[in-house]
Amino acid sequence: MTLFGFGRPRPGEAERRRIEDWAREAGGYGETVVVKVNEIVCADPACPGFETVLLIMAPKTRSAAAKIAKPLAEVTREDVVAAISASS
């Protein structure tokens, strides 16, 4: 478990792990592929506000990013599958 502060789990850790598992399944990514899940706030008025970003880093391959225009807590399996498909 990743810790934030004084032994407390990082906010959104359960959602991050769930989304990472979905991304691994959707992309067929093995253990050598790093999947990072982050929630960002976009200040641009054209942005949806909160956005979930999946960063896919595979050996000897250019990193890919997939964006979902929702906060972590609202992301569904279908959102992840669509984002992974679009980034491939």
Res 45 pLDDT > 60: yes
Which residues, in sequence order, are CB contacts of 20 under 8 Å at separation 6+? Answer: 35, 36, 37
Judge whether residue 2 has pLDDT over 70: no
- In the sheet that 64-68 helps form, which strands lie side by side, from edge to edge? 34-41, 50-57, 64-68
Could you report the per-residue pLDDT of 11-39, keeping only the tens digit for each?
Answer: 688 999 999 999 999 999 999 999 999 99
* Domain at 3-87: CATH code: 3.30.160
pTM of the model as a whole: 0.82
Task: Kindly tell me if the per-residue pLDDT of 59 is higher than 50.
Answer: yes
